[in-house]
Structure 1
Amino acid sequence: MRVYDRERQEWAGGRRERLYHPDQYLDLPRQRRVLERTGVVLAVVGVCFGVWAFAWKDEPEPPPAATTSQGESAPAETGGSDPADSAPEDSPTVADAGSGVLPDGYEEAQDEEGFRVAVPTGWSRESSASQFGIDIVNYRSSDGSRRLQIFQVMEDSPYGSLQAAQTESTKLDGYELIELTEISSSPYAAAEHEYRASEIAGESDTGSVRHVIDHRFEASDGNRYALVAYGPDNADATERDLVDTAVTWFCPPDTTCPTPAG
């Protein structure tokens, strides 16, 4: 086949034809190898592309982040849980654990003079004017054999007040001192005068010996008070129970006090 040589502007033939169409004159074995290698390369490329396309198509999308009611992303949960979150709603609280329980046979009394005290259930109340502080208040048993007296103390210290009272008590018929002491275990200053006598001011003269515990103390309001228990001298612990319970539950006027622990 002859071709036109534009550079020379003439028709070329023979050797020049081979220069313009060299691929037509390659040997056949070489052409086959070229075609085989090209086919292998194309096959490998096709397989790779297919695998990639299949994996990309089936890959799951990440779930959307949880949002709050305002549309903000919610914080991720952390491992474990707060034990307080799993506690039952009716679990006792610290405040519940501190609630007090009155001894059997006692009741809480919010007195007209403003103080709180605990007295035996069913006791009657009477009062009289005092030269200092609140009125003198007496709670008395129905048979009249026992009495709890509350009043405010004028002296600066409970022990000094009892020393003065003890001097007067020695004038009573049948007076016998059991103990006159300061109480160091009390959170505030306190002292106690325990004695026997057959004559007691404010009591009818029966001729029988009476047992008295006179407990004087400084309260949380900074004032001093007396809680005095009177009863028959029969060697029981009733007067001691009266005083101890009254002291535990006593709260001075115009003061907020916690409920005693049970």
Structure 2
Amino acid sequence: MRVYDRERQDWVDGRRERLHQPDRDLDLPRQQRVVRRGGMVLAAVGMCFGVWAFGWKDEPEPPPPPPSSPTAQEQEGTGPSAAATETADGTATASGVLPDTYREVQDDEGFRIAVPADWTAERRPSKYGIKIVNYSSPDGLRRLQIFQLEEPSPYDSLVIAQEEAARRDGYERIDMGPIPSAPDDAAEHEYRTTEIAGDADPGTVRHVIDHRFRAADGNRYALVAYGPDNQDSAERELIETAAAWFCPPATTCPAPDGSGGG
């Protein structure tokens, strides 16, 4: 008798079908194992895909592009009010434009400097380096002194000068120390006193700023401003302007306003 074998999709002899039945029974567990293994593989693939998709979703966005560099105009500023000058000792000063009442001077001792226009100079010998130069106001109440230092550093020289000033009458220390922007190359001592060597009006309180620095030629110099105690800002302007324009002897320096110079 012929029967229809659904697995083979064919009509087969009934006896032959019975002979094939044990083989199918033996093959059934193997088929089940194959199905189970296939399911495990699909599950593992699905898990890997899920992990990848989750990681891709949470991946951080790329960092934003760096800010654009400032233009040359932004770096240098615009106009005299934004200008800043670096002195030979590395300290920042006010604008490189001379105050209205100042003039640039090429001194006989070889250095360049800027002082009030109506001030006059006198010189006296020094035991070291250039002569001691004093620029004084017409009334003799204000003065700027320039000289060269023998000590190995501006601060070492300032310590010696401060110890001497402290022994004079009326000494009152305001501030003293290295200038933060150039600790090894510049230092300053600001004080009040009633006794100054060579002062025409002894006993009057004077305001003093003693600024010592290393210049472009590698040598050390001092700029010392003296004036009445009630004009502290005037001495500060005098020191900052002189320091900005100072250029040591036999040295080529740019002008503070960037226009060149010597």
For Structure 1 versus Structure 2, the TM-score category normalised by the shorter chain is 0.5 to 0.7
Report the counterpart of residue 158 of structure 2 in structure 1.
162
Counterparts of residues 100-115 of structure 1 (less than 5 Å): 100-115=96-111
Uncovered stretches (5+) of structure 2, i.e. residues with no partner = 1-82, 86-94
Distance 1:186 1:245 in 2: 18
Does residue 1:209 correspond to 2:205, yes or no? yes
Structure 2 distance, partners of 1:117, 1:188, is: 23
**C-alpha distance in 1, partners of 2:126/2:100?**
32
Contact kept in structure 1, 2:131 and 2:147, CA below 8 Å? yes
Aligned residues of 1:172 and 1:199 also touching (Cα < 8 A): yes
Matched, 1:221 2:217: yes
Return the alpha-carbon distance in structure 1 between the equivalents of residues 125 and 239 of structure 2. Answer: 22
Q: By how many angstroms is 1:144 displaced? A: 0.5
Aligned residues: 166
Q: Using a 3 Å threshold, how does the CA distance of structure 1 residues 105 and 205 change in structure 2: closer, same or farther?
A: closer
Asked which structure has the greater CA Rg, the reply is: 1
Match of 2:180 among 184, 187, 209: 184
Which protein has greater RCO, CA pairs closer than 8 Å, 6+ apart?
Answer: 2
Alignment partners' CA distance in 1, 2:182 and 2:175:
17
Backbone CA RMSD of aligned residues: 2.0
Q: Structure 1 residue 175 and structure 2 residue 174: aligned?
A: no
Mapped to 2, the partners of 1:171 and 1:136 lie a distance apart of 22
Whole-angstrom distance in 2 between the partners of 1:139 and 1:175: 23
| Partners of 2:102 and 2:115 within 8 A in 1 | yes
Aligned equivalent of 2:195: 199
Structure 1 residue 256: deviation in Å? Answer: 0.4
Is 1:147 aligned to 2:143, yes or no?
yes
Structure 2 length-normalised TM: 0.61
TM-score, normalised by the number of residues in structure 1: 0.61
Residues 185-244 of structure 1: CA deviation (Å, up to 9, x unaligned): 149700001110000012124321000000000001000000000000005400000000
Extract unaligned runs of 5+ from structure 1.
1-96
* Structure-2 separation of matches of 1:119 and 1:248: 11
Deviating runs (4+, > 4 A) in structure 1?
97-100
- What is the percentage of aligned positions where both structures have the same residue? 65
Shift of 1:103: 1.4
